[in-house]
Structures are given as C-alpha cells and as structure tokens.
Amino acid sequence: MPDATSLPPADREVARVGGVFYGDTGGTGDGSGMPVVLLHGFLFGQSMWRAQVAALSARGHRVITVDLPGFGASAVPEEPATMSTYSTAVAAIIDQLALPPVALVGYSMGGQVTLDTYAARPDLVARVVLVDTVAHTDLPEVAQGRRDLAARLEREGVRQYAEEFLPQLLRLDGASAATVSHARTMMQAANPVGAARALRARADRPDYGPVLDACPFPVLIVVGEHDHFDQGRFGAGMAERAPYGTLEVVAGVGHTPPLEAPDVFTGLLARFLGN
C-alpha cells in the first residue's frame, strides 16, 4: 500500500503499470484541455504536484502524475538503471491510458526524463515544460559526485542527506513551514536504493541539447530566481536553443517553484497550456 507521501488527492484514480504507480484525474475535467503528465524531481514523489493537479483539472485538463521508478510507491528498477528506464515507464503509462499527445511537464530530474521521453517517443508529446532542470551532460567531476552520493545513500540511507539537500531545493527564508515539511517528508521517505540507481542513471545521461534544438512545438522553461543549480543561465540557454522556447523566471524562490510559489507557477503553466 502506498504511503501518504506518494498518494495523489483522494478524488483521483490510482493504478500501476509495470510496477510504476500513477494518479489520474480521469474524467474529472471537462476534456477541453490537453492532457498533462507531471514528472517529479529527485527524492520527491507525485504528491509535489497537488496544487497543480487541482488547478489544472478545474480548467478542463486530464492530469496524470507519476511516481518515477524507485520513488514514492513505485518499484525500484533493476540495476543498472538508465534514463530510458524512466522514460519507458512514462511512455508505457501514456500508452496504457491511450492518451492523445500530452503536455509533458518535468521538474529537475523529471525534466531530463521529459526530454528522454520526447526523444524516444515524439508521437506521445505535444508540448514540453521544463522546470529548473538542465539539458547538458554533467562535467566529469559532477558525474563522479553523483556516483559517490549514490554509494553514500546505499550505505547511510537518505535522512541525513535530505537535511543537507533541503536548502538547495527551497529558499528556506521564504518558504512556508508547510512547504518545508512537505518537501522534507517526501525526501526522508525516499528509497535509498531507488535514489542511488537514479543518480547513476543521471550521471551517464546523454546530451539533450539536440532534442531541444529539434522541438517543433512550444517549450516553456521555468526557473526560480534564486535557484542554486540554474545559476541564472542554464534555463535561459535552453529557451534560446528551443525554436519555440519561452523563459519564465519566478521571483523570490529557489529550485522548486511548484512548491514554493504554487499559484504563480500554476498560472504560468495554465496560460502556456491555454495558448
């Protein structure tokens, strides 16, 4: 049984495809909007999208959220995992639900899964939203740092690292106590083996820059003004590469606009989907 950190809102259908847990608003929207698939980031789960699910379904969108393999209530993938492990799982859910081409929205690690999914199955995707992510490969020292962290999490678990990582995800002097608690709870509940396999997959990921270069549809890039990882340049670079790219900077927040500024972020997303 999934724990509370991975459960979508109570009025949503839940199911599994190949060991991967997802939530689906099903027929709760009026069907007037494009279906939306939301992909969480590292150490998080699908519950990070609760505010967006409620708002988008009210606007007529069918909304699907996914616990990526090894996170939330989803099974840990076989070793070695690759980025294809995650994108294949996403594609299988879209295929299972027989959805028309979707808006694929990915935050951080989920943004890289979004690009991998589009690269492998462009027939499934009509629009892309990338939130505080990067398309380029890691520098060798960064990739090695991911592998070292994977080994640490397998030895020690995730609880101590979650406390170290939290200030890099949220601007703590601006985030609400509820937001901090939600993020901490998701991270501390993460499976260390699943997290380690995701880190190794990301360390060996391909360069998604050429995928952005070839996107024939609108791409929205969203970054937090104070994102520790974006450094004020990676999101802008991706928006320049995508032929129909748009950059939006969310003021006053860090790496996680969907949690730190849910109303602002959801407004940007809704306008993009409605255009």
Q: What is the mean pLDDT of each run of 10 residues along the chain (275 residues)?
A: 48 76 77 89 97 94 96 94 98 96 98 98 98 97 98 97 97 94 97 98 98 97 96 94 98 97 97 90
What single-letter amino acid sits at 169?
L
Query: What pLDDT is attached to residue 4?
Result: 46
Query: What pLDDT is attached to residue 13?
Result: 62
Report, in angstroms and rounded to the nearest whole number, the Rg of the chain calculated over CA atoms. Answer: 17
Task: List CB contacts of 35: < 8 A, sequence separation 6 or more.
Answer: 61, 62, 63, 64, 99, 100, 102, 103
Query: What pLDDT is attached to residue 31?
Result: 58
Query: What pLDDT is attached to residue 10?
Result: 42
Query: What pLDDT is attached to residue 11?
Result: 47
Query: What pLDDT is attached to residue 38?
Result: 98
Query: What pLDDT is attached to residue 26?
Result: 86
Residue 272, number of CB atoms within 10 A of its CB: 18
Cβ atoms 259, 251 nearer than 8 A: no
Residue 137 CA neighbour count, 13 Å, CB half = 13
Query: What pLDDT is attached to residue 1?
Result: 39
Strands, E assignment, 89-170: 102-107, 125-131
Query: What pLDDT is attached to residue 40?
Result: 98
Report d(CA 12, CA 39) in Å as an integer: 17
Report d(CA 75, CA 9) in Å as an integer: 21
Residue 173, number of CB atoms within 10 A of its CB: 8
Read off the pTM.
0.94
